Chain A
Amino acid sequence: MKQFLLKIAGYGLVSFLILNGIAFLCLYFLGNSNFYKPQFVKNGVFEKEFDYVVLGSSTGLTTLDTKLMDSITGKKGLNISMDDSALSSHYLMLRHFYALNRKTKCLVLAITPWDMAVTNPTLNVNDYRFLPYVNEEYVYEYYKSLEQTSFKVLTLSRYVPIIGMTYYNTELFYPSLLAALHPEKRNRFDDAGNYSYPNFGKPKKSENKIMELELKNPYYKKIKQLCIDHKIQLILYQSPIFKTSVVTVDNQYQKIINHSQLFQESIMFYDNLHVNDKGRKICSEKFADELGKECYVNIRSNANKYNGYSK
């Protein structure tokens, strides 16, 4: 019995150390690549200061083309939106952005009505992408507070990286191999963080509907407070949704650019929620006009006027 236990413990320990070593190396390579958005913000962006950044989920990622907007406004923007994320992830991304000593004058927060209505945020599908930085307190605290399962995979990965690497093996292990060979490789976004859906998609038929934007998500307040702390002008952006009009029920939003009704032609959409390349061009041009009026002008003339909390 003793011999068996010693043997199992010995082999178990060696396997544990080797596998954790592999996981540690994988996270290291991934953390020093441009593969996912958090890594891109750290390693793939050379400028420190921006006039504006676009932050959101897939709607922010695929609706606003910062390159096009920059060419119109002459300003410098960056898209740090991440697909399959939500306000809580946006908050983490913004903290990550500032932790890396990046700065912006204006934050364009791409929102969705259903995300704003969430009262109990949970971990989002793609939050594992911050795992290479789990040793950073803001990432660790974020995982710790939002992981609701009894076995906290991401939180525990701070001490035992093989846990997260095993659970998210297809999302982390294989990309890390790619990152080790091609650290400059990006996962579906360009060098300004933008991505567009092709023109061959089609939205499903649906009835016209109206959605109210309700402010319930506690992470909205956190983002707002972070903007105040860093003197960032916060602009909310609502992208087009097929056959849907998004309306605000009160005046609690200091500034919102609402494109939900900008167009309704199905040829502009990839699916019901996302515009395609044609739709993106129209949205970006229209947004650039508004950005020039609301963000850039005011930043130059009165930097403190839109400081995130003034109505």
Chain B
Amino acid sequence: MLFNSLEFLIFLPIIFAIYWLANKRSLQLQNGLLLVGSYCFYAFWDWRFLFLLMFSTGLDYFTGVKMYESENNNNKKFWFWLSIIINLGFLGIFKYYNFFVESFSAALSDLGFRTNFWGLQVILPVGISFYTFHGLSYVIDIYKNRIIPEKNIITYSLFVSYFPLLVAGPIERATHLLPQIKKQRKFNHSLAIQGVKQIIWGLFKKVVIADNCAFFVNQLFKNTDGYSAPELWMGMVFFAFEIYGDFSGYSDIALGTSKLFGIELLRNFNFPYFAKDIADFWRRWHISLSSWFRDYLYIPLGGSQGGKGMRVRNTFIIFLVSGFWHGANWTFIVWGSIHALLFLPLLISDKNRSSLGNTNYSMKDIPKILFTFLCVCLAWVFFRADNLIEAIHYITGMFSSEHPSLHFFYKNAKYGLLTVLCLISILFLIVVEWNNVKKSNYEIQLPKAIVFILLFMICFMGAYKNQLSFIYFQF
């Protein structure tokens, strides 16, 4: 069930009404209904994977309790590693098995050995990377004695399967979400209004910006040949806005939807394209994942405590793992490596925290913002391309001097119109976000007039005929 689908438009008011009616009776009923609704939401994709989700939930619940009850450290370790191995095992089989076997097979072939590729014909369960990381953070927090396990299975299941965040995050923490689930929610008028506005803002980003940009991006990345350098540059910029519109649009709808139920989720984006350097970008992009890696990987590896060598090593590990988390493809690993390399000069010169907490913008920040955006865009080429050869081919084409033109974007009336729609909507996004950035707003604030303009744009500028799924669902 996509957030921008008719099914969700029906599902949401129903679950909303039932949820708040149940509110008067008991918290357990309220949570139970929300859990059933979440499972229905998930089953809409493929009900068979619901059992995997339930198993993963049960495993983490059970091992969490067992760890807490363990009287000695060995027992605790056993239950901890059992949970880690099984969770990562599922993720490995469904997401990475074919990649490893294929890469290993290719390496052996290069050495002259004949191999039979033992690939698995499996579908990637939607949201597996997200709910696995939910579970892992919970188990690790118990192991580290940061939290005590949740005794109520319904409460814990809802923490893992809460439908707004189930398939594409944000990746929540037990310390943040569980207390909200355990507390009786009271309807908060201003929070709900903010939620509705955020849903509309997210829909605009998805159906107007992302899906219109995708029309061009998909063609340019499908076959780079025959396109001029300016066309490829523009395609790269369009992809930057496509992925941002798609993923942050999803996050906005998720956060907005959750607010309707009185639950505030972790913020996932903070106007990332206004970042002044790469370190700043990563404090603003997919925040819940970045902070997850920081807390559960970077810090345990030693973090910034050691010398520069250790910090460089840890940073590279974080970016490589982050790239790999996105998908089993070398393109994602290279994408992560590029970000690590871009991060390196800041780390060595101790400037990686120079933008931290600095919310004031001046004219001299504009070149920094543009340079950071350019670096991020170039890295996106690897993220978007199907394989490394195509990514390199695309980048090479961007520096070709043959027949420079932008003809592709206006080759007929439809293309010309869609290009104008993309540019207008991107400009609108930049203006609205810039106003919010300048005011140091924590979340997007939308006046009524802007909300109506957004509704108008969603209706008359959105792409609906070839409805596209959210990009991050594949991760």
Q: Do A and B bind each other?
A: yes
Interface hit among B104-112, B170-178, B275-283, B454-462 = B454-462
Q: CA–CA, A151 to B414, complex, Å?
A: 25
B418 part of interface (Cβ distance < 8 Å)? yes
What distance in Å separates the Cβ of B68 from its nearest Cβ neighbour in chain A? 38
Q: Are A8 and B196 in contact (CB under 8 A)?
A: yes
> How many residue pairs between the two chains, A and B, have CB atoms under 8 Å in the bound complex?
40
Quick one: which of A4, A165, A170, A174 contacts B189, CB cutoff 8 A? A4
Q: Are A170 and B455 in contact (CB under 8 A)?
A: no
B187 part of interface (Cβ distance < 8 Å)? yes
Q: CA–CA, A173 to B459, complex, Å?
A: 10
Q: CA–CA, A169 to B464, complex, Å?
A: 9
Given contact pairs A4-B192, A166-B460, A174-B417, A15 touches B187 in the complex (Cβ within 8 A)? no
A288 part of interface (Cβ distance < 8 Å)? no
Q: CA–CA, A3 to B189, complex, Å?
A: 8
Q: Digit string of B200-233 for contact with A (CB within 8 Å is 1, else 0)?
A: 0000000000000000000000000000000000
Interface size class of A (residues with CB under 8 A): 10 to 19
Q: Are B192 and A173 in contact (CB under 8 A)?
A: no
Q: Are B20 and A19 in contact (CB under 8 A)?
A: no
**Chain B minimum-CB-distance residue to A170:** B417
Residues 1-35 of A contacting B (Cβ, < 8 Å): 1, 3-4, 7-8, 15, 19, 22
**Chain A minimum-CB-distance residue to B5:** A151
A94 part of interface (Cβ distance < 8 Å)? no
Q: Are A1 and B464 in contact (CB under 8 A)?
A: no
What distance in Å separates the Cβ of B4 from its nearest Cβ neighbour in chain A? 12
Contacts of A15 in B (CB 8 A): 452, 455
Interface of A, helix, strand, loop or mixed by DSSP: helix
A232 part of interface (Cβ distance < 8 Å)? no
Q: Are A165 and B192 in contact (CB under 8 A)?
A: no
Quick one: which of A1, A168, A169 contacts B461, CB cutoff 8 A? A169
A162 part of interface (Cβ distance < 8 Å)? yes
Q: Are A169 and B462 in contact (CB under 8 A)?
A: yes
A138 part of interface (Cβ distance < 8 Å)? no
Given contact pairs A1-B20, A7-B193, A167 touches B465 in the complex (Cβ within 8 A)? yes
Q: Are B418 and A170 in contact (CB under 8 A)?
A: yes
B356 part of interface (Cβ distance < 8 Å)? no
B6 part of interface (Cβ distance < 8 Å)? yes
Q: Are A19 and B456 in contact (CB under 8 A)?
A: yes
Q: CA–CA, A7 to B197, complex, Å?
A: 13
Q: CA–CA, A1 to B189, complex, Å?
A: 7
Q: Are B455 and A19 in contact (CB under 8 A)?
A: yes
Contacts of A19 in B (CB 8 A): 455-456, 459
**Chain A minimum-CB-distance residue to B420:** A174
Q: Are A165 and B459 in contact (CB under 8 A)?
A: yes
Quick one: which of B20, B192, B196, B459 contacts A162, CB cutoff 8 A? B459
Residues 160-192 of A contacting B (Cβ, < 8 Å): 162, 165-170, 173-174
Q: Are A170 and B414 in contact (CB under 8 A)?
A: yes
Contacts of A173 in B (CB 8 A): 460
What distance in Å separates the Cβ of A44 from its nearest Cβ neighbour in chain B? 19
Quick one: which of A3, A4, A165 contacts B460, CB cutoff 8 A? A165
**Chain A minimum-CB-distance residue to B195:** A4
What distance in Å separates the Cβ of A55 from its nearest Cβ neighbour in chain B? 25
**Chain B minimum-CB-distance residue to A18:** B452
Contacts of B193 in A (CB 8 A): 4, 7
**Chain A minimum-CB-distance residue to B461:** A169
Contacts of B460 in A (CB 8 A): 22, 165-166, 169, 173
Residues 428-475 of B contacting A (Cβ, < 8 Å): 452, 455-456, 458-462, 464-465
Listed from nearest, the 9 A-B pairs whose CB atoms lie closest are: A166-B459, A1-B187, A173-B460, A169-B460, A167-B464, A4-B192, A4-B189, A151-B6, A15-B455
**Could you name 6 residue pairs across A and B whose Cβ atoms are closer than 8 Å?**
A3-B189, A8-B196, A19-B456, A151-B6, A170-B414, A170-B418
**A residues touching B (Cβ–Cβ < 8 Å)?**
1, 3-4, 7-8, 15, 19, 22, 150-151, 162, 165-170, 173-174
